Amino acid sequence: MHNRNEIYVNGAWVRPHGTDRLEVINSATEEVIGTIPDCNPVDVDAAVAAARAAFDSWSTTPVADRVKCLNLIAEGLAARGETLGDLLSAEVGMPVLMARQIQVGFASAIFAATASVLENYEAEQTLGKSLIVREPVGVVAAITPWNFPLQQSSAKVALALAAGCTVVLKPSEITPLGVCVLAEVIDEVGLPPGVFNLVLGSGPGVGEALVAHPDVDMVTFTGSTRAGKRVQQLAAETVKRVTLELGGKSPNVLLEDADLPAAVTNAVHKAYFNSGQTCSALTRLIVPRSRLAEVEELAKQVAESIPMGDPTSETSVLGPLVSDLQRERVRGYIRTGIEEGAKLITGGPEAPEGLERGYYVRATIFSEVTTAMTIHKEEIFGPVLAIEPYDTEAEAIEIANDTIYGLAGAVWSADRARAIAVARKIRAGQIEVNGGDFNLIAPFGGYKQSGNGRENGSIGLEEFFEIKSLQL
Quote the mean pLDDT of the chain: 97
Alpha carbon of 165 to those of 53, 61, 137, 303: distances in Å?
Answer: 12, 10, 6, 44
pLDDT higher than threshold 90 for residue 447: yes
* CATH tag for 251-439 (out of 3.40.309.10, 3.40.50.720, 3.40.50.970, 1.10.3720.10): 3.40.309.10
Question: How do 251-254 and 408-412 pair as beta strands?
Answer: parallel
Q: How many CA atoms lie within 13 A of 132 on its CB side?
A: 9
6 is catalytic: no
| pLDDT band at residue 18 using 50, 70 and 90 as cut-offs | confident
Average pLDDT (106-121) is: 97
What value does the mean pLDDT take over residues 301-321? 96
Catalytic residue among 173, 245, 296, 388: 245
Domain segments of the chain: what residues?
2-246+450-471, 251-439
Could you check whether 2-246+450-471 and 251-439 share the same CATH topology? no
> What per-residue confidence (pLDDT) applies to 330?
98
**pLDDT tens string 341-369:** 999 999 999 999 999 899 999 999 999 99
Region 384-393: mean pLDDT is 98
Q: Sorting pLDDT into bands at 50, 70 and 90, what band is 297? A: very high
Whether 321 contacts 286, CB under 8 Å: no
Q: Above 90 in pLDDT, residue 53?
A: yes
Q: Classify 2-246+450-471 by CATH class.
A: alpha beta
Average pLDDT over residues 230-258: 97
Residue 147 has pLDDT above 90, yes or no: yes
Does residue 61 carry a pLDDT above 90? yes
**Do residues 182 and 107 make contact, with C-beta atoms less than 8 angstroms apart?**
yes
For residue 178, pLDDT over 90 is answered with yes
Active site residue 69: no
**Helices of type H across 19-133:** 41-59, 63-79, 81-92, 96-98, 105-119
pTM over 0.85: yes
* Catalytic choice (279, 379, 432, 455): 279
Amino acid 410: pLDDT: 98
For residue 126, the 8-state DSSP code is: E
pLDDT (0 to 100) of residue 1: 82
Residues 6+ apart with CB under 8 A from 391: 288, 289
Distance of CA 52 to the CA centre of its chain: 27
pLDDT of residue 143: 98
Q: Where are the alpha helices (DSSP H) in 368-428?
A: 374-377, 393-401, 416-423
Could you tell me what percent of the chain has a pLDDT over 70?
100
Q: Is pLDDT of 35 > 90?
A: yes
| pLDDT value for 458 | 97
Residue 37 carries which side chain, given as an amino acid letter?
P
